[in-house]
Amino acid sequence: MIAAYDVEWLALRKGYKPAIRLAVEPAEAATHEALFVRRGAAVVRSAWQPPDARPAQEILYVARRLREAEALREVEAPILRGGETAELGGAILAAGRLLGYPPCCAEAFVDRIERARHLGLGALRGLRKRHLAACEAQVDQPRWELNNLFLEERLRLITFEPCRYDCPPALRFAGAVFGEIEALSAPDAAALRGRLAVAVALDAEGRKAEVQIDEGRIAQAQAPLSHDDRVLSPRDAALAGELEGALLGEAQARIAGLLVLEFR
């Protein structure tokens, strides 16, 4: 069990990040808003709702000062309204800047959605998009600080997709957030590091499993546990079942897009 640190708030509070964007259920918006106001932050709501969002979402922009929250709302308005990605690239980069994402990572994000559009993948969303981002960020030695595959499990230092799993500015950001957690609880920080510095198998559908690979064989595989030690996704558990005991090469031939990232 590790406390569910609000890493975005820790980063915002220390000025590593100008603003936060939250998409929440409309019924919960007021609760989130009140929490940030209690913390002394400024909060504004999106003036415009994406009509096709399922489930319905309310978007909140949080910053230390009102004008930064409003700036992010303004920058994101044309993105929410939709349109050609080519025209929105500048707006997405500006939003990335206000969210404190490294420029190289924001540019890689824009390139990726543009490429997906050219490939006819259209609205490549959710878990498939995550798989594509992870494939493109793969490097020989992925750094544990940038393991962003356990967002739902609330085990992470960053909430963006890094351009590479050893991106220097992303590592500086993650290191600063880790320092904040260490200052709050050294045992939690050590435990978090242990949970992120693992080998993760990810398939094209975005299913993921923690694996231990021994001489080309997946000796152990398990669904990742959340910060409070629960398995959140039966799909992840199913992947773990398919992987355990298999030869890695054989699993890669059988399971579409299977990627192994050895975060350390």
H or E segment to which residue 21 belongs? strand 19-24
Q: CA-CA distance, 74 to 88, in Å (whole number)? A: 13
Could you give the string, one character per residue 165-184, with x where binding to Zn ion holds by CB under 5 A and - elsewhere?
Answer: --x--x--------------
Tell me the three-class secondary structure of 147-166, residue by residue. Answer: CCCCCCCCCCCCCCCCCCCC
Could you give the string, one character per residue 85-124, with x where binding to Zn ion holds by CB under 5 A and - elsewhere?
Answer: -----------------x-xx-------------------
Q: Tell me the backbone φ, ψ of residue 209, rounded to 5 degrees.
A: -145, 145
CB of 142 to Zn ion, least distance (A): 13
Specify whether the CB–CB gap between 196 and 156 falls below 8 A.
yes
CB of 164 to Zn ion, least distance (A): 6
Specify whether the CB–CB gap between 177 and 112 falls below 8 A.
no
Q: Using alpha carbons only, what angle is made at residue 69 by residues 64 and 73, rounded to the nearest 5 degrees?
A: 165
Q: Specify the residue, 132 or 201, whose C-beta has the smaller distance to Zn ion.
A: 132
Q: Specify the residue, 163 or 223, whose C-beta has the smaller distance to Zn ion.
A: 163
CB of 196 to Zn ion, least distance (A): 18
Size of the site for Zn ion (CB under 5 A): 6
Q: Specify the residue, 96 or 206, whose C-beta has the smaller distance to Zn ion.
A: 96
DSSP 90: H
Interface with Zn ion by CB under 5 A: which residues? 102, 104-105, 163, 167, 170
